């Protein structure tokens, strides 16, 4: 799906940029990352994968709010990340990290398919993704 189709299908809606909503989402992203780390120490592979994905999801939502977008589906976030990648603002690896985590989360939630290797990869990538989104958005959590 491309940006124009996502907009025409109302999966993405243009809004006023909101730093307050962005910060709220970023805090939730960091909470999910903490949850993933705890799950890792508890050897709960499925929770590591799902929390790592949701950490990335909320970080991306923070960026969308900062840019003035409201998403109406998980795929809409991928559309914005792809657009940022095409514009040279987001490295391809971060786009791939998000896509991979989305697939891993779906496999874990719907097919009960997960492994320690997938969990470790998701967690590591979620940490990198979070740092990159914070850098890209310029969000300040010390408010």
Domains annotated for the chain, with CATH where assigned, are 3-137 (1.20.120.330)
Per-10-residue mean pLDDT of the chain, 143 residues long, equals: 92 96 96 98 97 98 96 93 96 97 95 94 97 89 59
- Give residue 1's pLDDT: 85
Measured distance CA(6)–CA(82) in Å, rounded? 12
Report pLDDT for 140.
67
R_g of the chain, CA atoms, integer Å:
15
Q: What is the pLDDT of residue 110?
A: 95
């Amino acid at each position: 799906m491309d940006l124009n189709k996502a907009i025409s299908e109302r999966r993405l809606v243009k809004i006023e940029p909101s730093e307050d909503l962005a910060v709220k989402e970023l805090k939730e992203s960091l909470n999910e990352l903490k949850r993933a780390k705890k799950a890792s120490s508890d050897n709960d592979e499925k929770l590591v994968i799902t929390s790592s994905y949701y950490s990335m999801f909320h970080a991306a939502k923070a960026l969308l709010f900062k840019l003035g977008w409201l998403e109406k589906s998980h795929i809409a976030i991928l559309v914005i990340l792809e657009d940022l990648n095409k514009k040279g603002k987001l490295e391809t690896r971060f786009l791939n990290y998000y896509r991979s985590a989305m697939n891993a989360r779906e496999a874990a939630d719907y097919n009960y398919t997960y492994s320690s290797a997938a969990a470790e990869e998701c967690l590591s990538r979620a940490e990198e993704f979070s740092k990159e989104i914070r850098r890209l958005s310029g969000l300040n959590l010390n408010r």
